Structure 1
Amino acid sequence: MSKATRKDAQSPAPHAADSHELIRVHGARVNNLKDVSIELPKRRLTVFTGVSGSGKSSLVFNTIAAESQRLINETYSAFLQGFMPTLARPEVDVLEGLTTAIIVDQQRMGSDPRSTVGTATDVNAMLRILFSRLGKPHIGSPQAFSFNVASISGAGAVTMERAGRTIKERRSFSVTGGMCPRCEGRGTINDIDLGQLYDDSKSIAEGAFTIPGWKSDSWWTVRTYAESGFLDPNKPIRKFTKKEMQDFLYREPTKVKVEGVNLTYEGLIPKIQKSFLSKDKESMQPHIRAFVERAVTFTTCPDCDGTRLSETARSSKIGRMNIADACAMQISDLAEWVRELDEPSVAPLLKALHDTLDSFVEIGLGYLSLDRPTGTLSGGEAQRTKMIRHLGSSLTDVTYVFDEPTIGLHPHDIQRMNNLLQRLRDKGNTVLVVEHKPEAIAIADHVVDLGPGAGTKGGEVVFEGTVEGLRAGGTLTGQHLDDRASLKPSVRKPSGALEVRGADTHNLQGIDVNIPLGVLVAVTGVAGSGKSSLIHGSVSGQDGVVAVDQTPIRGSRRSNPATYTGLLEPIRKAFAKANGVKPALFSANSEGACPNCNGAGVIYTDLAMMAGIETTCEECEGKRFQASVLEHHFGGKDISEVLAMSVAEAEEFFAEGEARLPAAHKILDRLVDVGLGYLRLGQPLTTLSGGERQRLKLATHMAEKGGVYVLDEPTTGLHLADVEQLLGLLDRLVDAGKSVIVIEHHQAVMAHADWIIDLGPGAGHDGGRLVFEGTPADLVAARATLTGEHLADYVRS
């Protein structure tokens, strides 16, 4: 495509002649980028568009933002760099005009049970100072209101130099923290069912432990108990003496020697608490999670009533409010409470606190509370929470990078997000946004469209210029920018109903609703209205229900679509049969792995205090397999060549001829069906977006026998042109006898549904009610809810 076609000649970049006004990228070749060269105007809002897999993230995040962060890290000392994440230099010839990049992405925030919305945004820190100044009775410094600081006291020796002499003094000390001593600031206590940990009719030597991974010959676990000397390993556990049982279950960490090796012995209960209960349950492998759910009962701490705070911390109040009450309030209500406080001695603090709380409301998160664990936030909520700390920043000339900031937002809320992005730009910052929503693209000062396709068919800049230029430019994005859906002339009739009665999870206010079966149901409403609470709280988990969400797929960088979907299994067997060798040879995680890089394809070099580096393995040239393995072929390809194929290429490859493999073709068909034809079979799962993860899970679950599918915003990450393909997939699922329930904000999906369940009318305590149930046509005709108004405008535009 010629430069004249690519560039909108009617709208030259502002101040293009001044090199200080541009970010210049020349020869970018990260992932699928094909020697991309582009100039981006600074202090403008640039939106990057294109189909999924076209190279948007490769250009914005993996090239521009990555190099900015790498260069910033290099300004620190070698010692500090040793504590920072390793960032390799992107494959690009020239990058000029970069400024400090702040990435605000959709990665879920930490799932640490001690991390809350308040601690993640520093609002808790401001509240603790406020209560330490104004709270009555006065109980101490801000840490006296922190559930992460314990109250301790003791004494210790202090060594000092005086007049050339060394003097030792013993001094007492005390720290007053706000942590509830019973639950240690977690808000919950647990009761462990010992019967799930071991079979007390057996001895340890006989394999009494029933804990996953605790085999009878396990060095670090079972053998430590058996050879510690604290108990008889050949005696059934039920016959332990009182002392043996105490040592077995509760003994403090003690150094022991097992076969000449120094190890630490610890009672079974504290060991289980550290090994399993200190971790996020959702991050565990399924069999480990099942064990924890079976063995452990979590209940609200009776001493602090789940507030995490000590009685002393809760005793200090401002008016009738203690800090636990403040953190439990809906943020929009808390902002009103702070606004009413009038105390000149802390006026600057009150203003900063109020401004931050107002930012929550303005960004559409006013329905949250400060005590909400960060691990429970959706990707969109996490991204908007990260934005909070930047909205009040005094920094200018910063490059802010956003990854689909409208995710999880009702059409009603998108305008507020647009205002915030424009506000960041108007402060003198460069704002780079990867987006698919037309409403968000519309506010761009500059648009960069990548394509023309995905994967190997993408990686080129097919348009640069204004939004109007994009409309007239003829690219796939331009063609679909003004797409509108029409209401279906007729809807399917339900085959039954799933009854939900008295649903009261989170903000739901005792909802009774019948969810039709055998049809496509869209659950709608503004962010925080209770959609996920209703579906995941009352429907997911039932027999026959397959819930497919966007949570990260657990696995290492060695995991890829071929391993996750089971596709690699028939491929390995086909290679083995065709060549008369073992299937294990065709696994980079097994016998076939390159010995130099152990099948990783890259070599990681630790440079001690300096950032480590990652280089392509010279032995296998990044192919991950031994050279002898690559001599074996199937259908004229070696295993590394197959894993380098895109899903669409592999589907064609395994369809017919000597490479015909029905078992593999069936899985590949499903991957193409969900719009993932551009992914490479060997692409690490860690590189997939939330929407791609959900569609990969959906492709895997489509082979299951579940009768009800629950999808959470399946349009996430989908280009406008791909939404129609998704609707076709949903139709095929329903026509095959499945029931499909979709939590969605996209009006095209709403218009295509057979039935809509709309929650609201607002968010938080202003939501949680059923405000409409019926067909899309009835919702449009009534226009009685926010969803109805926006859907009516969409289908009539």
Structure 2
Amino acid sequence: MSPAKRAATPHAADRHDLIRVHGARENNLKDVSIDIPKRRLTVFTGVSGSGKSSLVFDTVAAESQRLINETYSSFVQGFMPSLSRPEVDVLDGLTTAIIVDQQRMGADPRSTVGTATDAHAMLRILFSRLGEPHIGPPSAFSFNTASAKGAGAISVGNKKAVKATFERLGGMCPRCEGRGSVSDIDLTQLYDASKSLNEGALTIPGYTMDGWYGRIYRGCGFFDPDKPISEYTKRELNDLLHKEPTKIKVEGINLTYEGLIPKIQKSMLSKDIDTLQPHVRAFVERATAFSVCPECDGTRLAEGPRSSRIKKISIADACRMEIRDLAEWVRTLKEPSVAPLLEALQQSLDSFVEIGLGYLSLDRPAGTLSGGEAQRVKMIRHLGSSLTDVTYVFDEPTTGLHPHDIGNMNNLLLRLRDKGNTVLVVEHKPQVIAIADHVVDLGPGAGTAGGTICFEGDVDGLRASGTVTGRHLDDRRALKEAPRDATGKLSIRGADTHNLQKVNVDIPLGVLTVVTGVAGSGKSSLVHGSIPLQEGAEGVVSVDQTPIRGSRRSNPATYTGLLEPIRKAFAKENGVKPALFSANSEGACPTCNGAGVVFSDLAMMAGVSSTCEDCEGRRFDSSVLEYTFGGRDISEVLAMPVAEAEAFFADGPARTPAAHKILTRLADVGLGYLTLGQPLTTLSGGERQRLKLATHLVGRGAAGGGAGTVYVIDEPTTGLHLADVEQLLGLLDRLVDSGRTVIVVEHHPAVMAHADWIIDLGPGAGHDGGRVVFEGTPGDLVAERSTLTGEHLARYVGA
């Protein structure tokens, strides 16, 4: 090879220090090529919808996970989600990618903060070694491990008997089966007692008399199917409701009969309610009421493991402590025989405290964590990992963090990098961008206006680059010179939800109030749990970031009601039925049933989903696409970004005021880049929240609500670029100026500075919080600097 040729060829060592992406076209990426340095912390910036997630998550991380999955056997791959190769020409230098995102951890009642990390497992080992009375193996302290069948009751006074018996037992409370709560079933929701089975007495979804369940109950022979249930004997009613599984023959077929209550317990009540079909979920919510298990007092554990103690503390007591208190208790334990275990447990608990989650307890159900809390809990799982040269991918890790806590988060990100890992962070906060070794700024706009690399280099270079992010990186908003005057007040007295300590506070009406405080200080408990007019009552609109219930077929057009005026406009223009213009109804492509993709089940191998060849992913039957409105067919309209559609339906031949009104609200909340047909399952928490807010604005008129409406909004800046915060503040101002009361739970200093009134909770988190430490104007908060929030806001405004 010639010297010139050799000089032009990257050295092998150089190639191994880079993740090379060439020709990336996933989603809105426009043939992006970039080299990402390994073992460095790279922050990806850009306005919402600029392509950050498409590059980091949908290209780099997705291809890494796909390649790892391919190393497993076909049988194992059959149990994994099917991943297609991203639209990219070259991806070199990939390492194992671990995604630490803000997806909630699911609502499985058995999953807790302790079980989601290694903390609970280590505690179980600790109590199995040091607990008195001594109760054998760690599984004896697990509420997810059932007792050995037929073990019977135990006298905890006999230590030898306890040890011998619990070596064969798990720690699950037999009453609640380790859930900590028991459900009471409203029998009136199961059947109409005035009717017989043959008259359709059963009112449980799927239990029609023509279906298998109905035929089993009618033909079991335990009661007369023509007899009203109200006339059943005690035995007959018990057989209907509680009978144990029993072999029977119905219509010549051998079957198993089981009472209604154990049947629905297994098929409906034991499942994550959010995974149920809407009509089944509605039935479960209607028919059941949950209460703390009276036998284990909500600890989930049987009596034996609750009796074993270390220094008068049981494992149930330990799991109920705030984690920072538990960390201090573990620090007092000095036992050489378990020294490595104590050290590992201590490090794990200290990580919770350092990351700003010391106010949680290990028994906190994982499904109750916010997206930001869930992400930080996942992060803790990786801090103690022995793996190196891993690519960690974070999605806005500072979500839900007070400015005081962002420094701690930054330290943890740097620790992961310093262990020899590649850390990729999608983030908007200037404090995180400031610690980056390398910055990649995408844009310049969102959606079709984005998808290109506008800058890559160091932070100083970003400042001087002239990009949208560079121009706004050092933005500072001045304090409001003349805060609005309140028109009244909402009085809260003696609030004690969660950690609130009998709080008395007045929330002013007719102004913008920002509720601040460190994570866990009691903000949400005050706003969502203590406002006199509860959410859902007349006059109160609560807009949070909880997942929107809906399938992959749901999209912004269907969720906001936008599709309805569009369908009607198409129908009127073409003289046909509106149902033709729904991919979930008559207009659906018959090949893919309106899904746009065809799924092939390959038995033991992973299934494959491919774009439908007949409709080419457009979801509609070809005959429907012959109808146009304003020169566009329905699939082309659903492919439009909100901003384009807003202009399309505003004037000219496609003028549709009802559609335009909804689109204007979507643009107002910063969602102009979303396409009308984008699946809701692909939206971030912040995008879901802004979609909900837009829907409420549409439903309550152009002014944004009825007289006296109170808007409660939870961290609306989540996922917003620095340049978009100004637009959000303008929207909040319009709401207030039209006579509404806006209460915002927020950490962003720009929102605090723009407030008319601030209520600051603290001074700390958990039991160190729950008190109002300041209430007044932002100017007074800055002048006093008496709280953590005051100190950070003063630095932000340069006071």
Question: Smaller-chain TM-score range?
Answer: over 0.9
Per-residue Cα deviation, 1:569-628 (whole angstroms, up to 9, x for no partner): 111111112112111111111111111111111111222232222211111111111111
Distance 2:316 2:279 in 1: 36
- Which residue does the alignment assign to 2:265? 273
Correspondence for 1:202: 195
CA-to-partner distance for each residue in 1:506-537, whole Å, 9 max, x for gaps?
11111111111221111100001111111121
Whole-Å separation in 2 of the counterparts to 1:453 and 1:238: 67
Q: Note if 1:333 corresponds to 2:325.
A: yes
Pairing 1:541–2:535 present:
yes
Q: Distance in 2 between matches of 1:672 and 1:254?
A: 60
- Does 1:729 find its partner at 2:731? yes
After superposition, the Cα gap between the structure-2 partners of 1:631 and 1:262, relative to the gap in structure 1 and judged at 3 Å, is: farther
Match of 2:722 in 1: 720
Aligned to 2:574: 579
CA–CA distance in structure 2, aligned partners of residues 419 and 624 of structure 1: 47
Cα distance in 2 for residues equivalent to 1:449 and 1:660: 37
Residue 370 (structure 1) aligned with residue 370 (structure 2): no
Q: Which residue of 2 aligns with 1:190?
A: 183
Tell me, yes or no, if structure 1 residue 635 matches structure 2 residue 639: no
User: For the Cα contact (< 8 Å) 2:246–2:258, is it kept in 1?
Assistant: yes
Partner amino acid, structure 2, of 1:446: H
**Mean Cα displacement is larger for which, 636-645 or 277-286?**
277-286
Aligned equivalents of 2:343, 2:795: Cα separation in 1: 39
Q: 1:777 aligns with which of 762, 776, 779?
A: 779
Quote how far apart the aligned CAs of 1:278 are.
2.0
Q: Decide which of 403, 415, 429 is 1:423's aligned counterpart.
A: 415
Map of 1:81-92 to 2, 5 A cutoff?
A: 81-92=77-88
**Cα 1:616–1:290, aligned 2, differ >3 Å: closer, same or farther?**
closer
Alignment CA distance shift 1:205-1:738 (3 Å): farther
- Equivalent in the alignment of 1:103: 99
Which deviations, in whole Å up to 9, do the C-alpha atoms of 1:77-112 show, x marking residues without a partner?
222222222211101000001011111000001211
- The Cα offsets for residues 404-456 of structure 1, whole Å up to 9 and x where unpaired, read as 00000000000111111111111111110000001110111110000010001
Q: Which amino acid aligns with 2:417?
A: R
Q: Given the alignment of the two structures, is residue 404 of structure 1 paired with residue 406 of structure 2, yes or no? A: no
The letter of the residue matching 1:608 is A
Q: Over residues 16-38 of structure 1, what are the superposed CA-to-partner deviations in whole Å (9 max), with x where a residue is unaligned?
A: 98111111000000000011000
Cα distance between partner residues in 2 of 1:190 and 1:603: 40
Q: Distance in 2 between matches of 1:481 and 1:573?
A: 45
Does the aligned pair in 2 maintain the 1:152–1:174 contact within 8 Å? no
Aligned to 1:669: 664
Structure 2 match to 1:158? none
Q: Is the 8 A contact 1:23 1:95 kept in 2?
A: yes
The residue that corresponds to 2:585 in the other structure is 590
C-alpha displacement of 1:220: 4.8
In structure 2, runs of 5+ residues without a counterpart are 1-9, 152-164
Task: Give the residue type in structure 2 aligned to 1:23.
Answer: I
- Pair 1:569-2:564 in alignment: yes
- Is 1:520 the equivalent of 2:512? yes
Q: Quick one: distance in 1 between partners of 2:780 and 2:684? A: 35
Matched with 2:160 is: none
Distance 1:634 1:229, change over 3 A: farther
Does structure 1 residue 117 correspond to structure 2 residue 113?
Answer: yes
Q: Is the 8 A contact 1:139 1:316 kept in 2?
A: yes
Residue 27 of structure 1 aligns to a residue whose secondary structure is strand
**Equivalent AA in structure 1 for residue 664 of structure 2:** D
Instruction: From the superposition, tell whether residues 647 and 257 of structure 1 become closer, same or farther in structure 2 (CA, over 3 Å).
Output: farther
Per the TM alignment, residue 189 of structure 1 is displaced from its structure 2 partner at its CA by: 1.6
**Aligned-partner Cα distance in 1 for 2:681–2:28:** 16
Q: Which range is displaced more, 290-299 or 45-54?
A: 290-299
> Whole-Å Cα distance in 1 between the matches of residues 660 and 257 of structure 2?
52
Q: What amino acid maps onto 1:762 in structure 2?
A: G
1:255-274 counterparts in 2 under 5 A?
265-274=257-266
CA distance in 1, matches of 2:600, 2:282: 37
CA contact (8 A) 1:367 1:764 kept: yes
**Contact residue 140 and residue 167 of structure 2 kept, 8 A:** no
- 1:456 aligned to 424, 441, 448, which one? 448
Aligned partner of 2:695 in structure 1 is: 700
State the 1:692 CA deviation: 0.3
Alpha-carbon distance in 2 for matches of 1:656, 1:524: 43
Q: Which residue of structure 2 lines up, in the alignment, with residue 752 of structure 1?
A: 754
2:674 equivalent to 1:686: no
What residue is the counterpart of 1:386 in the other structure? 378
- Alignment gaps of 5+ in structure 1: 1-13, 156-171
Aligned to 1:168: none
Does the Cα contact within 8 Å between 1:147 and 1:179 map onto a contact in 2?
A: yes
- Which secondary structure does the structure 2 equivalent of 1:498 belong to? strand
Note if contact 1:205-1:233 (Cα within 8 Å) is conserved in structure 2.
Answer: yes
Give the C-alpha shift of residue 556 in structure 1.
1.1
* Correspondence for 1:309: 301
Provide the aligned length of Structure 1 versus Structure 2.
Answer: 767
Taking the aligned partners of 1:151 and 1:701, their CA distance within structure 2 comes to 50
Give the direction of change, closer, same or farther, for the CA distance of 1:774–1:381 in structure 2 (3 Å limit): same
TM-score scaled by structure 1?
Answer: 0.93
Partner of 1:654: 649
Q: CA deviation at 1:295?
A: 3.2
Q: Is the 8 A contact 2:110 2:365 kept in 1?
A: yes
Residue 601 of structure 2 is aligned to residue 613 of structure 1: no
The answer on 1:93 being equivalent to 2:89 is yes
Between the aligned partners of 1:182 and 1:242, the Cα distance in structure 2 is 24
Shift of residue 195 of structure 1? Answer: 2.3
8 Å Cα contact 1:285/1:554 also seen in 2: no
Q: Following superposition of structure 1 onto structure 2, how do residues 86-165 of structure 1 map, counting pairs within 5 Å?
A: 86-153=82-149
Query: Secondary structure at 1:103's aligned position in 2?
Result: strand
Sequence identity (%): 78
CA contact (8 A) 2:197 2:209 kept: no
- Give SS of 2:265's match: helix
Q: CA deviation at 1:275?
A: 4.0
Tell me, in whole angstroms, the C-alpha distance in 2 between the residues paired with 1:654 and 1:737: 29
Matched, 1:52 2:48: yes
Q: Structure 1 residues 465-474 or 287-296, which shifts more?
A: 287-296
Output the aligned Cα RMSD: 2.1
- The separation in 2 between residues aligned to 1:462 and 1:260, in whole angstroms, is 72
Q: CA–CA distance in 1 between the matches of 2:93 and 2:782?
A: 49
CA drift at 1:181: 1.2
Contact 1:15 1:21 in 2 (8 A): no
Instruction: Please state whether the residue corresponding to 1:175 is helix, strand or coil.
Output: coil
> Aligned partners of 1:285 and 1:738: how far apart in 2?
36
CA 1:485–1:564: 2 relative to 1, 3 Å: same
Q: Does the aligned pair in 2 maintain the 1:154–1:173 contact within 8 Å?
A: no
Q: Of the candidates 29, 36, 48, which is equivalent to residue 33 of structure 1?
A: 29
Over 3 Å counting, the alpha-carbon distance change for 1:717 and 1:260 in structure 2 is farther
State how far apart, in whole Å, the 1-side matches of 2:213 and 2:744 are.
45
Tell me the TM-score normalised to structure 2 length. 0.93
Aligned equivalent of 2:462: 470
Q: CA deviation at 1:542?
A: 5.6
Give, as a single letter, the amino acid of the residue that structure 1 aligns with 2:761.
L
Contact 2:198 2:209 in 1 (8 A): no
8 Å CA contact 1:16, 1:41 repeated in 2: no
CA contact (8 A) 1:500 1:513 kept: yes
Farther-moved stretch of structure 1 (365-374 vs 543-552): 543-552
Cα distance in 2 for residues equivalent to 1:484 and 1:324:
48
Q: Call closer, same or farther: CA 1:775–1:124 in 2, change over 3 Å.
A: same
Matched residue type, 1:375: G
In structure 2, the residue matched to 1:7 is none
**Post-superposition CA distance 1:163-199 (Å, at most 9, x none):** xxxxxxxxx9983111111111111122222123333
Deviation at 1:228, TM superposition (A): 3.9
